[in-house]
Amino acid sequence: MAFQGAFAIITAALISGAIVERMRFGAYLAFIVAWIVAVYAPVAHWVWGGGFLAGDGALDYAGGAVVHVNAASAALVAAIVVGPRKDYGRHAILPHNVPFTLLGAGLLWFGWFGFNAGSALGATPAAALAFVNTLLAPSAALAAWTLLDMARSGRVTAGGGATAIVVGLVAITPAAGYVGPGSALALGALGALPSYFALILRARTRLDDSLDVVAAHGVGGATGAILTGVFADAAWSGGPSGAIDGNPWQVAIQAYSLVVVLAYSGAATFVILKTIAIVLPLRNGRRLEGVGLDVAEHGEEAYTAGDGAILVQPHGAVLAAALDVVPVGEGGRP
């Protein structure tokens, strides 16, 4: 129960990456409660609880469709409904701290061993296989991403490397206990390609998906799910087989399960958000977004410039003080 609860909340957390800096905290809390009950729980049952997708033979070892494609479909709809950040597309939005990004990617990779190997629900050969594959696939994705970066721009970036690791982790998730180590390397390298170009394409659109949930988790998860249908090997998993192991229909079953999850998650997310918007505004005003939702929603800041500080005051006083701040001008003071 606790393990499945952790899966549920990390799926909802992924959606937050597409609406960060603009959705009101209260509306977001209402949304994730409704979404977990109305979207995540049914999809998890369909795949892992003996539901119709499991009965149809869909393979999803640790959440390619249930977690990543499910969240990405919801994230896409949420980003469109909520809208872009007020300054999106007007200036470059740069990473705040690249070392922290790399630290986070390392912690994520470490935690993913529990995510995938733990899905065996025991210290079993399947858990060992999933653990090894969770090491190998992101390594292959990182190597492939590096080569793509070198070919495209002549440079390799740390931020790109962190993204590559996440994409590799996402891609191996549905296949972790169903494929051999060699196939995990191939799956990780192949899984990097669609996500790499999806990120480039997204940057040319007006879709403000802040953490590229759609490109990394949606495209990566879908690619991994399809490739699970290609590489699944009964000799390693003791059960299902894929196209390489003589069952070409498994690819079609995987694609069918993805279409079902994408359609249901996207449609249900739209209905939930529109229903919440009747009762609670989804966004603060543009002025409060300019001040920052750390201040507007929580009365604090994660980072302050210079010797600035926000004093502990009643909520209304914090907002009033924040709204009195004006930009530093020539010869002026904030």
Q: What residue spans define the domains of the chain?
A: 2-279, 286-323
How far is residue 65's CA from residue 61's CA, in Å, rounded to a whole number? 10
Structure tokens given for 105 = 């990617």
Structure tokens given for 195 = 């996500």
Picking from 144, 143, 98, 135, the residue whose alpha carbon sits closest to that of residue 117 is 135
Residue 305 pLDDT grade (very low, low, confident, very high; cuts 50, 70, 90): low
pLDDT score for 334 = 39
Picking from 228, 282, 259, the residue whose alpha carbon sits closest to that of residue 80 is 282
Return the higher-pLDDT residue of 92 and 132. 132
Number of Cα atoms under 13 Å in the Cβ half of residue 57? 17
What 3-state class would DSSP assign to 219? helix
How far is residue 161's CA from residue 165's CA, in Å, rounded to a whole number? 6
Helices and strands, number each (H, E), in the chain? 15, 0
Residue 204 pLDDT grade (very low, low, confident, very high; cuts 50, 70, 90): confident
Does domain 2-279 fall under CATH 1.10.3430.10? My reply is yes
Side chain identity at residue 170, one-letter code: V
Rounded mean pLDDT, 84-102: 80
Q: Is the pLDDT of residue 220 over 80?
A: yes
pLDDT score for 188 = 97
pLDDT 10s digits, 155-199 = 999 999 999 999 999 999 999 999 999 999 999 999 999 999 999
Number of Cα atoms under 13 Å in the Cβ half of residue 314? 2
Q: In this structure, are residues 325 and 295 in contact, taking their beta carbons and an 8 Å threshold?
A: no
- How is residue 243 annotated by DSSP? G
CB atoms within 10 A of CB 163: 25
pLDDT score for 74 = 96
In whole numbers, what is the pLDDT of the chain averaged over residues? 89
How far is residue 20's CA from residue 84's CA, in Å, rounded to a whole number? 10
Picking from 192, 213, 189, the residue whose alpha carbon sits closest to that of residue 202 is 213
How far is residue 215's CA from residue 218's CA, in Å, rounded to a whole number? 6
How far is residue 230's CA from residue 247's CA, in Å, rounded to a whole number? 8
Helix (H) or strand (E) holding 253: helix 249-279
For 107-116, b where at least 16 C-beta lie within 10 A, e where not — what string?
eebeebbebb
316-to-142, 186, 299, 304 alpha-carbon distances in Å: 47, 56, 9, 20
pLDDT score for 95 = 76
How far is residue 267's CA from residue 242's CA, in Å, rounded to a whole number? 30
How far is residue 90's CA from residue 73's CA, in Å, rounded to a whole number? 26
Q: Computed over its alpha carbons, how large is the radius of gyration of the chain?
A: 21
Residue 206 pLDDT grade (very low, low, confident, very high; cuts 50, 70, 90): confident
How far is residue 62's CA from residue 70's CA, in Å, rounded to a whole number? 13
